[in-house]
Amino acid sequence: MTGRNSRQIFFIVAGIAFASLAAAIIFWRHTSSQAAQTAARSSVPVTVTETTVRDVSIYSHALGTVQALNTVAIRAQVNGQIVSINFRQGQEVHQGDVLAKIDPAPFKAALDQAIAKKSQDEAQLIAAQKDLARFKSLALKSYETQQNVDQQQAKVDTTKATIDADQAAIEAAQTQLDYATITAPIDGVVGFRQIDVGNIIHTTDASPLTVLTQIKPTTVICTLPQSYLGRVREAMLRGEVKVLAFDQDDQKQLAEGKLLLINNQIDQTTSTIQLKAEFANDDGRLWPGEFVRVRMLITTRKNAVTIPAVAMQRGPDGFYVWVVKPDETVEQRPIEAFQADEDLVVAIAGLNAGETVVVDGQSRLDVGAHVAIRSPKTPVAQQPDNP
């Protein structure tokens, strides 16, 4: 075999080897791609989170009505013409503020007359006392009878009693004059004005001048099912029960207060109990007659294992969650749990802190299925004390 033929054979063998290598590489890549696609198709995409341990406030929810602590119909205590109105409708006033004035002239005249009458009787008393002193002096010398002395003594005593009556008349006249100035008996907010300046106001008028409502502090009346009675009483025995008031949509907190009392009997018609809570209401966000959502802090569960409410599923045998294992397969885990609020569930048994649970994509899962996690394993966001 010549050298030329040897080179030709070498190149042919090398070409065959190169072609075989290229074919093997192409086959390996194709097989790997198909395996990857098959694995990708078999993994279920899910969103997960981790269970966390925290203190959870347990609230009882109720619908309540804001009720003014005090409501006063402002009426006149004397008859007369209104000469001034000293408040604006809807104004906040304080105890002792002048709300209106009635013409004081007739009451001032009556007071002056009573004072003058007392002065007159006091002058008569002085004269009677002097006569009594003279009668007693003459009686000692037997120039006057004891009967006349006694009569003069009675006159002095009668005049003293008249002066006492005059003082009472002065006080009554002064009271009538004081009533001509109508003042606020409590702190609060005045409502609509029912009578205008210049009109005659009477003590017997059907409509008051206005209505004064105390809103700082204020109260909320709410009802709970009878079954909650024991829990609420136990909470009150432990100390002050915090109460939160939310708007009708149960989204925005309006005020924080405390539970005052449980009504002394159960409504047998509805099998409910009535409760009253008090709120400082310094910002006036609670208004009499307003409907609010009430949350009462019954207890605080310490070191509770929590998950989002969307993670808990209900099956024929009770509640369960899908737990992601370290090999990224899932198992269906039965749990004992209760819902603390619309977003948070407390697991009593069946879950430990730090375990990973599925919060989205549960409908496509089977026991042992592989999952493709679509989000980082972030813990449940720390909830505030006001769930």
CATH classification at residue 81: 2.40.50.100
Please check whether residues 261 and 294 belong to one and the same domain.
Answer: yes
Tokens of 363: 């409908």
The predicted-structure confidence for 65-111, as pLDDT tens digits, reads as follows 999 999 999 999 999 999 999 999 999 999 999 999 999 999 999 99
DSSP string, 318-367: EEEEEEE-TTSBEEEEE-EEEEEETTEEEEEES--TT-EEEEE-GGG--T
pTM over 0.85: no
Query: Which pLDDT band holds residue 344 (cuts at 50, 70, 90)?
Result: confident
Q: In this structure, is residue 271 part of a structural domain?
A: yes
Q: What value does the mean pLDDT take over residues 43-52? A: 87
Domain end residue (candidates: 159, 179, 199): 179
Say if residue 5's pLDDT is above 60: no
Please check whether residues 175 and 192 belong to one and the same domain.
Answer: no
Q: Report how far apart, in Å, the C-alpha atoms of 71 and of each of 25, 67, 181, 186, 211 are.
A: 92, 9, 20, 9, 7
Q: What are the residues whose beta carbons fall under 8 Å from the beta carbon of 60, sequence distance 6 or more? A: 224, 228, 231, 232, 295, 296, 298
Q: What's the alpha-carbon Rg for the chain, to the nearest Å?
A: 46
Q: What is the pLDDT of residue 134?
A: 85
DSSP string, 197-220: TTSEE-TT-SS-SEEEEEEEEEEE
The predicted-structure confidence for 250-262, as pLDDT tens digits, reads as follows 889 999 999 999 9
Range of the domain at 239: 61-67+214-301
User: What is the residue type of 323?
Assistant: V
The predicted-structure confidence for 175-185, as pLDDT tens digits, reads as follows 999 999 999 99
Q: Worst-scoring range by mean pLDDT, 18-22, 75-79, 156-160?
A: 18-22
Q: In this structure, is residue 387 part of a structural domain?
A: no
Query: Which pLDDT band holds residue 47 (cuts at 50, 70, 90)?
Result: confident
Q: What are the residues whose beta carbons fall under 8 Å from the beta carbon of 43, sequence distance 6 or more? A: 328, 370, 371, 372
The predicted-structure confidence for 278-300, as pLDDT tens digits, reads as follows 999 999 999 999 999 999 998 88
| Cβ–Cβ < 8 Å for 236, 262 | yes
**How many Å apart are CA 354 and CA 48, to the nearest integer?**
12
* Backbone torsions φ then ψ of 108, nearest 5 degrees: -65, -40
Q: What's the mean per-residue pLDDT of the chain? A: 86
Angle between helices 105-140 and 146-179 (to 10 degrees): 170
The predicted-structure confidence for 320-335, as pLDDT tens digits, reads as follows 998 999 888 988 889 8
Q: In this structure, is residue 26 part of a structural domain?
A: no
**How many Å apart are CA 214 and CA 185, to the nearest integer?**
10
Q: What is the pLDDT of residue 15?
A: 59
Work out whether the CA dihedral 26, 32, 34, 37 comes out positive or negative. negative
Q: What value does the mean pLDDT take over residues 148-168? A: 91
Indicate the burial class of 195 (C-beta count within 10 angstroms; 0-12, 13-18, 19 or more): middle
Q: What value does the mean pLDDT take over residues 123-129? A: 91
Query: Which pLDDT band holds residue 150 (cuts at 50, 70, 90)?
Result: confident
Domain end residue (candidates: 245, 270, 301): 301
Please check whether residues 234 and 297 belong to one and the same domain.
Answer: yes
CATH classification at residue 315: 2.40.420.20
Q: What value does the mean pLDDT take over residues 122-132? A: 90
**How many Å apart are CA 346 and CA 59, to the nearest integer?**
13
CA-closest candidate to residue 249, choices 283, 279, 290: 290
Q: In this structure, is residue 17 part of a structural domain?
A: no
Query: Which pLDDT band holds residue 381 (cuts at 50, 70, 90)?
Result: very low
Work out whether the CA dihedral 248, 253, 254, 258 comes out positive or negative. positive
Instruction: List 18's β-bridge partners, or say none.
Output: none
Q: What is the pLDDT of residue 16?
A: 65
Q: What value does the mean pLDDT take over residues 157-161? A: 92
| Cβ–Cβ < 8 Å for 288, 50 | no
Tally of domains in the chain: 4
Query: Which pLDDT band holds residue 376 (cuts at 50, 70, 90)?
Result: low
The 8-class DSSP code of residue 294 comes to: E
